[in-house]
Structures are given as C-alpha cells and as structure tokens.
Amino acid sequence: MTGTEKEERKEEEEEKTKDEECAAIDHRDKSEITRITTDYKDYKLDYRSSFDWDNVCKWIANIEASMETGTQMQEKTRKLMRAVLDVNVHESPVVQSVVWKENESVEVPEKFQVVSTVFCLEYSCETLEGYFRAVRNACSLIEDGGFLIQGGVLDATTYNFGGKTFRCHRLKQTHILESLKANGMATTAEQGYKFITHDDIFLLVSKKI
C-alpha cells in the first residue's frame, strides 16, 4: 500500500468514526434553534436572557485589548443595533422576517453594504451543493460595490454546539473561490479580495464587482 493510499484509508476511517458519532443527531434541531433565537430576542427586547453574554464580551475585549467591561460593551452594542432579522440562507426569501426594529421609522433595505458571517455558511449544510446555495443567498443580500466578510474553518467535518456534535460540509479553499466567483464576488487582490488563514481558521473580505 502506497503512502497516498494509506492517507486515503486513514481519512475514510476518520469519516466513518465521525459519521457514527453523529448518527443519532438531527442536524436541524429546531427546538434548540428556537430556544437560542428566543433567548436572543429576549436579550435585546427586554434584557431577559439565560445566556451569559458577559463572558463573550470579556473574551472579545481580551482579543481587542479593550478596557471596556462586559456590561459597557453590551450597552454600546444595544445602542448601535437598528434591527434584528430572521435570516435563512437555504430559503427564499433569505430574510424571512423582521424580528425587531428600533422604531417604526427604521427601513430595512433589500440589500446591504456589508454582510458578515462567521462560522455559519459551511456549518449550515453537509454538502458542497448546500454550501454553494448558502453563499449564493448570502451574496444576494449585498449591493453592488458592497462587501462580504466571511470567517470559518477549513477541512472540518463536524462542529460542537450546546453539548452536541453536528455534521457539516468539509470546506476547501477551492470551494470558497468557486462560490465567490459564481456570485460576482472578487477573488483577486486587484478586484478587492483578501484571505487570511491560520491553523485552518480563515477570514476573508470580498467585494461585489
């Protein structure tokens, strides 16, 4: 058996093990999604939430070398928010509904100058076809000359959330470039594309051209 064949055999065995671990898990656990969404709405609308946002804010402050406390960061974020949208990148329309608006005068546009997604697109599906659909729908929300900011993980086949393990699409950099190009997004520095990666975690900025 050659080195290449051994490597392929190893990958097949790893995939089989992960499939067995995920076999009993529904990838689209709607009850869990509903609970998280409800927590977020409560947090924004009337300050009720079972989720401890303070720890998240402390983590962000540490990364950004900020002196803000968790409470200060939360208050600043609340003041900047204009609306909360229910978005599904696998459905049409992509924006399913407006969950909350700062006031009735706030107009939610059909397209945006910037769309940001981190650990979402490749985690929302299990196939390459699903990933292409997610990117297509996310990019449909970007106006001409606007930008996509995308963060994620390359080569991951599962992810953990809420104490559960879920399957996801095994994302390659070639998939990213192909999907961006197919949706009129920049894939070169000259066009307005930047890709940064470290230990398979990536962040990219791509301009709609």
Report pLDDT digits (tens) over 128-163: 999 999 999 999 999 999 999 999 999 999 998 878
Is the residue at 20 inside a domain? yes
Is the residue at 52 inside a domain? no
Is the residue at 57 inside a domain? no
According to DSSP, the residues that pair with 150 across neighbouring strands are 117, 204
Pairing of strands 142-153, 112-118: parallel
pLDDT tens track for 31-53? 444 344 444 444 445 544 566 78
* Lowest-confidence pick of 53-67, 73-87, 183-197: 53-67
What is the model's pLDDT at position 7? 61
Is the residue at 158 inside a domain? yes
The half-sphere exposure of 27 on its side-chain side, counting CA atoms within 13 A, is 16
Question: What is the domain count for the chain?
Answer: 1
pLDDT tens track for 68-121? 998 899 888 888 999 999 999 999 999 999 999 999 999 999 999 999 999 999
Neighbours of 10 (CB within 10 A): 10
Is the residue at 141 inside a domain? yes
Q: Which domain holds residue 180?
A: 3-29+110-207
More confident residue, 56 or 191: 191
What is the model's pLDDT at position 74? 86
Is the residue at 154 inside a domain? yes
Alpha helices in the chain (DSSP H): 3-22, 30-46, 53-63, 70-80, 128-139, 173-182
In whole angstroms, what is the distance from residue 46 CA to residue 78 CA? 11
**Cβ-proximal residues to 39 (8 Å cutoff; 6+ apart), any chain:** 49, 50, 51
According to DSSP, the residues that pair with 24 across neighbouring strands are none
Helix (H, G, I), strand (E, B) or coil at 53: helix
Query: What is the value of pTM for the model shown?
Result: 0.74
Is the residue at 45 inside a domain? no
Is the residue at 88 inside a domain? no
**Cβ-proximal residues to 167 (8 Å cutoff; 6+ apart), any chain:** 18, 19, 22, 25, 27, 126, 157, 158
CATH code where residue 193 lies: 3.40.50.150
Phi, psi of 151 (to 5 degrees): -125, 150
